[in-house]
Structure 1
Amino acid sequence: MEDEESDDIGPYDRKQSDEDLWFVPPFESDEEEDPFAMPLPKAPRQSLLDHSEWRAAEALHSHAIADLRFDLGRLVERVQMMGRETVERLAHAEAASLSWWLGQRISQDRIALFLAWRISATGGDTEALQSVAWAARRLMAPPHTDGSLADRIVSHLGIGHLKDMDATGDLADLIPDGSDLDAITTACAVFHLWRTLADRPDHAREIEAAVIGARLAMANAGQHLGFVPISLAGSKPLTASGSVERKLAGWIAGIHASILSALLTLERLRQWKSGATVAIEDLNGRIPMLLIGIFSHHPMIAGPQIEEESGASQAAVQRNLKIFHDRGLIREVTGQGRFRVWTARM
């Protein structure tokens, strides 16, 4: 006699349910599921950027943004009056401040020497010096306000292969070009989002985020200055954490303080130029006036670079540098007898 089939249910057998199954039953859904997906709970799909939170935070700090914009306009006007050479001075100071935020502590004289002559130490901070010098170059670049947000980010960084990086486009999609957010708010959001990217190396992600934030915050504020100072008065805008409102509040307060610091720096430079012009009235030749322009342009500069820019001989440059030093117009920053670096005494 043949055995009955095992799947027959007897009169005393209870009906099986899904709880008796030794395997997890398939999830029934109207949506098409990936057949190769792991049978695990999925995280909720939500945007990394909540526009409503950023708009609410911006509305809460609208007066602070307006005050910041007013002083930013003063800074742009001062740069326009004093010439584009002041941009290099502000960019070097900003890059040096960013290095302190990153714990690298690169001084302005080292940035100037590296950008002019590629002079760097053989110690362990060579890579840090190159990174900070890159930030100074990008901050000195002319403003770029055309194209989509992704194109502007690529232009601000100056790295062509980022056009093919999916993260750049994905990040730009979170903030559409028609967004009603102010440029200051947009820069803050992009700064914090860029720091979360896993596609960029750890040593580059932080300083790239700062450069992008400084460049995006300028927007259409001016054609002479391509960035907004964000760390001249400390790292508060870069270290603010917590809610969106706290991040934006720290960003605005820190940037506003940095703008005021930049205004004070340019005012000191204007006073130095006026005093230096009066102090050299008795000197003949073209070199003294050239030196005033050179020291206004460069925060720190070495003798060979002065010779190259002025077209004068080494003897003439050294003689005029000694006169400027004796009259208290410039000072030497390295303390060495050779390969000395000079800066205006403000």
Structure 2
Amino acid sequence: MKKQPSRFPDDSERLRKAVEAGESAPPDAPWFELEPSDDDPDLWLQGPRADPDERAVVAEWAEAEASRAAQLARVAGRLGALDDRLLRGPVGWRHRLALIEAADLSWFSGERVSPDRLALWTSMRLSGVQEDVDALASTHWAVRRLKGGPGPLSDLAAFLDRRDPERLDKDAERFEDRADAWLGVMKAASSLHPITRACMGFHLWSLAGLSQNGPGIEAAVTVARVAAEPGRGAVFAPVAMGGAAGLRAAGLPSVRLARWLDGMENAIMTAMRHLDDVEKWAERARDRMASLSGRTPAALTAVFKDWPIVSAPMAETLTGASRASVQRNLNWMADQGLVREVTGQGRFRLWRIATRVEA
């Protein structure tokens, strides 16, 4: 094939000579020959740009917090009300909300663990033949962290149960270094409200190299604990209960914070309504079961207050009563409209409390 001559045979030579002489590019130079500009000194630099300074990152989120001050104050007030209610309420309420929140977060992370499967795994380590044990274990980790224990800001690696392997390539970046970098930014943002810090920490999770596929259940659980500090009743701030729209990563910090606050407010209100239903149900159950003798009715009532879904084997294990006694009381509670069987099957049945509307 005959080689075609260049359409611009002299342009490259003229441009080279002009640059060597310190002159500007000829006016008829090709459009693709870009010349340096004082407005963009990095035009000719190759490779990634430097990461922003911690102070610049925190300043961006401080500006976002200031722009959403009224909304932040409202959400913080609702979280304070939830904290006070859980402080005065039964300890089982925290366990119940942790189960529901962990199950909802599992759907956000793609593991899709339902509350009944999670309850069976948490109480008895039972799983189906075709169920993903790793997903159940990961979601159960979330339940344990949402129920209590040391927070993430003291030792993130211990909180996540993640450590560097004993044999690590000398060129590989250590996980503890990445965790320390994330903690460093969180410490630098100590002047921000805990809810704002939680939002910032969630969206910086992947940038810190703590996950490869975007922030998932680990990030959400971690920042849920951060947002609730220094709560005495609420161990975590709900972020996914009733929907995980607030966890979507898109937009500037002010947009992300607004979405985060909307999602958290919706989650907190969902948790409060759920506690309202449980509290009303407990009063109704106590009145209707007052005439029953034995310790099984009271024990079953306590189990249903702590767990969103209950099976007969679970109730047997948690109450210490016999299978016959548990089954007899479950049937009686179902007849009285106190509980509702949700599977519709003759075997492997599951019950949950029936609200006043369903009774």
Normalising by the smaller structure, the TM-score range is 0.7 to 0.9
Tell me which residue corresponds to 1:219: 229
The CA distance in 1 between the partners of 2:81 and 2:282, in whole Å, is 20
Tell me which residue corresponds to 1:36: none
SS of the equivalent of 1:175 reads helix
- Offset of residue 288 of structure 1: 1.0
Tell me which residue corresponds to 2:64: 57
Q: Which moved more, 1:151-160 or 1:272-281?
A: 151-160
Tell me which residue corresponds to 1:12: none
2:196 is the counterpart of 1:185: yes
Of 323, 332, 335, which aligns to 1:323? 332
The CA distance in 1 between the partners of 2:292 and 2:282, in whole Å, is 16
Indicate conservation of the 8 Å contact 1:109/1:300, yes or no: yes
Q: Which moved more, 1:206-215 or 1:126-135?
A: 126-135
SS of the equivalent of 1:334 reads coil
Letter in 1 for 2:261: I
Of 156, 173, 184, which aligns to 1:153? 156
In angstroms, what is the RMSD of aligned CA positions?
Answer: 2.7
Q: Which ranges in structure 2 are unaligned for 5 or more consecutive residues?
A: 1-18, 22-44, 166-173
2:125 is the counterpart of 1:115: no
Tell me which residue corresponds to 1:313: 322
Tell me which residue corresponds to 1:32: none
2:237 is the counterpart of 1:228: yes
Q: Give me the TM-score of the superposition, normalised by structure 2.
A: 0.77
Indicate conservation of the 8 Å contact 2:203/2:249, yes or no: no
SS of the equivalent of 1:342 reads strand
Pairing 1:1-346 to 2, within 5 Å after superposition: 43-47=49-53, 50-123=57-130, 125-142=132-149, 144=151, 149=153, 151-154=154-157, 156-159=159-162, 165-176=176-187, 179-200=190-211, 202=213, 205-222=215-232, 224-346=233-355
Indicate conservation of the 8 Å contact 2:163/2:176, yes or no: no
The CA distance in 2 between the partners of 1:245 and 1:45, in whole Å, is 20
Letter in 2 for 1:262: A
Letter in 2 for 1:279: R
SS of the equivalent of 1:292 reads helix
Tell me which residue corresponds to 1:33: none
Q: Which ranges in structure 1 are unaligned for 5 or more consecutive residues?
A: 1-17, 21-38
The CA distance in 1 between the partners of 2:112 and 2:52, in whole Å, is 39
The CA distance in 2 between the partners of 1:124 and 1:309, in whole Å, is 23
The CA distance in 2 between the partners of 1:175 and 1:310, in whole Å, is 43
Q: Give me the TM-score of the superposition, normalised by structure 1.
A: 0.80
Q: List per-residue Cα deviations over 1:240-296 (Å, max 9, x = no partner).
A: 411010011111111011101100000010000011111112212221111111110
The CA distance in 1 between the partners of 2:164 and 2:48, in whole Å, is 33
When residues 126 and 89 of structure 1 are mapped into structure 2, their CA distance, relative to the original with a 3 A threshold, is same
When residues 62 and 130 of structure 1 are mapped into structure 2, their CA distance, relative to the original with a 3 A threshold, is same
Indicate conservation of the 8 Å contact 2:157/2:176, yes or no: no
Q: Which moved more, 1:300-309 or 1:267-276?
A: 300-309
When residues 42 and 318 of structure 1 are mapped into structure 2, their CA distance, relative to the original with a 3 A threshold, is closer
Instruction: Give the aligned length.
Output: 307
SS of the equivalent of 1:176 reads helix
Indicate conservation of the 8 Å contact 1:138/1:158, yes or no: no
Letter in 2 for 1:77: D
SS of the equivalent of 2:347 reads coil
Indicate conservation of the 8 Å contact 1:142/1:225, yes or no: no
Letter in 2 for 1:212: T
Q: List per-residue Cα deviations over 1:298-345 (Å, max 9, x = no partner).
A: 111222222222222222111111111111111222333233222212
- Offset of residue 43 of structure 1: 2.5
The CA distance in 1 between the partners of 2:320 and 2:351, in whole Å, is 18
The CA distance in 2 between the partners of 1:274 and 1:107, in whole Å, is 27
- Offset of residue 219 of structure 1: 0.9
Indicate conservation of the 8 Å contact 2:86/2:234, yes or no: yes
The CA distance in 1 between the partners of 2:140 and 2:53, in whole Å, is 35
The CA distance in 2 between the partners of 1:46 and 1:226, in whole Å, is 32
